[in-house]
């Protein structure tokens, strides 16, 4: 797991750039900054938090069940492995 | 093609399409054409719950405290949910199983339907607690015009596919005149009916429950009808998983990852699929109007509920490539997320109020007269 890298940047289009919090999911890292992301299950099976990944890479410790397109990620259960740029739905 | 319960052709299930290939023979899960369905089965089974595990006895007291308009809202929602799960407990089995061609999808549909029957049984559990005899509530489901209107819209796509499949299985492709009515059965038409039916089911799982869910959770926000709310949370968790499965099926088709003909049909029927979804949105808004016709409830009104339906519809339509037709951008009922979060769904017996678990163990109610024969 490379999710304990600190100082990875998460650039949220039309919001601001935040720092990814080590050991947290991407969703938790964004919520720390009081930015609303739609969510339901927080476990990767419902797809409510589906978000566009514009650049960078993320990884999933557990296979996510929800349907996502090739350029989409599930912030509730993914961890950035590089600096990333995303666009919230 | 005649259905057989054990297809003796030694076919390779990894090359079958999801639907309208060879009937399934060996129920094997060591290999999968579409791995996602096996994973959904595992997840769904891990969610297993029994309605009786949730103590709803306090709800009886709460119910008496509700205003007449609130009682109307609560009971009407239960009736509507009973209708939805009555349909969903049987229809995926009857409509889809005879035409499914891969074992993991066959078992997923059976698992999915089974969970809908748990939901149906939980409505009886809730209603039996509130009313000594819930017959009049159940009877009204087939009498109530508002509910019937929705029932026919949901069941017609299923019924259409089921009837066409029956003709195809008994008579094959061609033009068949039954009781003076001519039916043209072709594989293309069958697949179109399947596509529209799947879109109707997807819209059902995506939005049709959410007006009821919002009302239930609004009661729970006021610490009312909390047993009911616990059950609805478990149901909502399951429904989110069911929705994921129909989204996968629709997207596998659209992206040409299964039957190439279904990709063409998806393109051809996009307009109709959008209309199915928009009709469901409209009906849910009308349902909100019916619920609040006798007055609102604290924390919710018709307008905000309609906005919530649009918000949820945007998300769920975009998931199957139908865009975001509504202007609303932010969630009008943010507290809903807390009830739909699986971390907050209590499942461990020691955490939830399970009467069977507590019987003969500890009675936490102590009255002054319990000390009557107590000497020091």
Residue range B175-181: average pLDDT?
A: 96
The minimal CB distance from A47 to the residues B237, B244, B342 is found for B244
At residue B374, does pLDDT exceed 90?
Answer: no
**∠ CA(B256), CA(B261), CA(B264), 5° rounding?**
75
Residue range A22-41: average pLDDT?
A: 92
Whole-angstrom Cα distance, residue B311 to residue B331? 6
Residues of B serving a catalytic function are: 123
The minimal CB distance from B251 to the residues A39, A65, A67 is found for A67
Whole-structure pTM value: 0.91
At residue B355, does pLDDT exceed 50?
Answer: no
Residue in the block written with tokens 């029927």: B269
Do B39 and A67 lie within an 8 Å CB cutoff?
A: no
Q: Using an 8 Å CB-CB cutoff, list chain B residues near A75.
A: none
**What is the DSSP code string of B25-58?**
-S---SS-SSHHHHHHHHHHHHT---GGGS--HH
**∠ CA(B328), CA(B231), CA(A74), 5° rounding?**
45
At residue B135, does pLDDT exceed 60?
Answer: yes
The minimal CB distance from B319 to the residues A41, A42, A47 is found for A47
B244, B307, B336: which to substitute to probe chain A, counting the most A Cβ within 10 Å? B244
Q: Which residue of B has its CA nearest to A43?
A: B342
DSSP state of B95: I
pLDDT of residue B296: 86
User: A32 to chain B nearest CA, in Å?
Assistant: 16
At residue A3, does pLDDT exceed 80?
Answer: no
Tens of pLDDT along B56-65? 999 999 999 9
Residue range B48-57: average pLDDT?
A: 95
At residue A41, does pLDDT exceed 70?
Answer: yes
Interface pTM, i.e. ipTM: 0.90
Q: Which residue of B has its CA nearest to A42?
A: B341
User: Where on the phi/psi map is residue B209: left (φ > 0), alpha (ψ -120 to 50), or beta?
Assistant: alpha
Question: Lowest-confidence range among A3-7, B13-17, B193-197, B248-252?
Answer: A3-7
User: A18 to chain B nearest CA, in Å?
Assistant: 21
Whole-angstrom Cα distance, residue B325 to residue B315? 10
Pair of tokens at residue B345: 């769904």
Q: Using an 8 Å CB-CB cutoff, list chain A residues near B40.
A: 65
Residue range B273-297: average pLDDT?
A: 95
Residue in the block written with tokens 């939830």: B352
Whole-angstrom Cα distance, residue B200 to residue B323? 17
At residue A4, does pLDDT exceed 70?
Answer: no
Whole-angstrom Cα distance, residue A78 to residue B177? 56
At residue B365, does pLDDT exceed 70?
Answer: no
Do A38 and B318 lie within an 8 Å CB cutoff?
A: no
At residue B128, does pLDDT exceed 60?
Answer: yes
**∠ CA(B31), CA(B245), CA(A31), 5° rounding?**
115
pLDDT of residue B353: 45
């Amino acid at each position: 797991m490379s999710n304990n890298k600190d100082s990875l940047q998460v650039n949220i289009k039309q919001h601001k750039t935040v720092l990814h919090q080590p050991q947290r999911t991407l969703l938790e890292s964004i919520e720390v900054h009081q930015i609303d992301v739609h969510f339901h299950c927080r476990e990767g099976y419902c797809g409510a938090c589906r978000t566009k990944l514009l650049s960078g890479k993320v990884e999933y410790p557990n296979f996510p069940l929800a349907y996502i397109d090739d350029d989409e990620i599930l912030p509730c259960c993914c961890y950035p492995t590089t600096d990333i740029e995303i666009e919230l739905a | 093609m005649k259905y057989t319960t054990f297809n003796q052709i030694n076919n390779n299930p990894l090359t079958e399409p999801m639907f309208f290939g060879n009937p399934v023979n060996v129920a094997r899960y060591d290999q999968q054409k579409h791995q996602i369905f096996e994973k959904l089965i595992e997840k769904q089974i891990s969610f297993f719950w029994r309605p009786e595990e949730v103590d709803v006895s306090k709800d009886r007291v709460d119910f008496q405290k509700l205003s007449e308009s609130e009682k109307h809202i609560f009971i009407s929602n239960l009736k509507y949910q009973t209708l939805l799960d009555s349909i969903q407990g049987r229809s995926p089995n009857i409509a889809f199983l005879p035409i499914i061609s891969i074992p993991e999808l066959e078992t997923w549909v059976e698992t999915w339907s089974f969970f809908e029957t748990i939901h149906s049984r939980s409505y009886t559990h809730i209603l039996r607690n509130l009313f000594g005899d819930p017959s009049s509530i159940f009877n009204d489901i087939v009498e109530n015009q508002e509910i019937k209107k929705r029932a026919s819209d949901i069941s017609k796509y299923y019924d259409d596919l089921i009837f066409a499949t029956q003709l195809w299985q008994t008579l094959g492709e061609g033009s068949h005149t039954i009781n003076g009515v001519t039916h043209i059965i072709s594989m293309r038409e069958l697949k179109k009916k399947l596509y529209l039916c799947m879109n109707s089911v997807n819209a059902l799982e995506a939005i049709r429950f959410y007006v009821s869910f919002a009302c239930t959770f609004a009661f729970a926000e006021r610490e009312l009808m909390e047993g009911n709310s616990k059950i609805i949370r478990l149901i909502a968790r399951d429904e989110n998983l069911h929705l994921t499965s129909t989204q996968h099926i629709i997207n596998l088709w659209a992206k040409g990852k299964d039957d190439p003909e279904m990709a063409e049909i998806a393109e051809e029927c996009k307009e109709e699929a959008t209309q199915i979804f928009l009709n469901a949105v409209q009906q849910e808004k009308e349902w909100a109007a019916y619920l609040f016709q006798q007055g609102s409830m604290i924390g919710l009104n018709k307008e905000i509920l309609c906005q919530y339906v649009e918000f949820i519809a945007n998300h769920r339509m975009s998931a199957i490539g139908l865009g975001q037709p509504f202007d609303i951008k932010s969630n009008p009922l943010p507290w809903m997320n807390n009830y739909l979060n699986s971390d907050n769904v209590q499942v461990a017996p020691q955490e939830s109020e399970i009467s069977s678990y507590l019987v003969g163990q500890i009675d936490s109610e102590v009255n002054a007269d319990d000390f009557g024969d107590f000497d020091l």
